[in-house]
Amino acid sequence: MARIIAIANQKGGVGKTTTCVNLAASLAAMKKRVLLVDLDPQGNATMGSGINKHEVERSVYDVLVHRAPVSLVACHTGESNFDILPSNSDLTAAEVELLEIDNRERRLRAALGEVREQYDFILIDCPPSLNMLTLNALVAADGVIIAMQCEYFALEGLSALIDTIQHIGQTVNASLQVEGILRTMYDPRNSLTNEVSNQLHEHFGDKVYRTVVPRNVRLAEAPSYGQPAMYYDRYSRGSKAYMALAGEMIRREEKLAVAHSPEQALPTG
């Protein structure tokens, strides 16, 4: 059964969409079944995955508002070998329309529940704000990956996001937790980067991924070709970083599975 992970940050421009697309491709390359949910009306994850947002017949809007089955709306990305629930500007209207619907914050959760057995990972690309779409993502998710730059103001935004995650965990989604903190656009030559990175380790410990995503021109260029970085330039530092992140995530999942296995709970001796 899929682990549902939202990639979030209330601050824009921190690499959320880049992370979603490249992590989805990297997990798929490791033989995992992956669904990427583009929950941002800009549709950048859709375009970056090689799907033309202007040509899709249905989008995640139809899933949220009209309860269209995920299996009818999802598109396969071809070479990248993952599925995507595409998004476009139609999704902007969903926020207003959802206000008139009962259990509006649980619409995505219900929809993904129908296909959860078909995937190993479901990744959700959240918009850069706390709105009804982000709320749907956090209610549907098991965990949140927080993508952030190691900058001073990023710490302030991180604190607000952690508070939001904790509030949702206490009210509508008891299983929600911080999956991990991913340092993006990382430049170890910058003293502030190292200072913020040290503070993250101090406060969040093992929640901080060992993998860091460097500033990389290839990562920035790949979306304009509708490709994840590993298919645009598989030897780039950015591509290698996301493959490393996928490996780190899978190892974490395996450790969790072992820790919660019935055999592990049995007394020894």
What's the mean pLDDT in 220-240? 95
pLDDT digits (tens, 9 = 90+) for 235-252: 999 999 999 999 999 998
Q: What is the pLDDT of residues 165-194, one digit of tens each?
A: 999 999 999 999 999 999 999 998 988 999
Domain boundaries, the chain: 3-264
* Domain 3-264 belongs in CATH node 2.130.10.30: no
Q: What pLDDT digit, counting tens, does each position of 76-119 carry?
A: 999 999 999 999 999 999 988 998 898 999 999 999 999 999 99
The residues near 245 (Cβ < 8 Å, ≥ 6 apart) are: 23, 26, 182, 209, 211, 213
Q: Kindly report, residue by residue over 148-172, the tens digit of the pLDDT.
A: 988 887 887 788 899 999 999 999 9
Task: Answer yes or no: is pLDDT of 269 > 50.
Answer: no
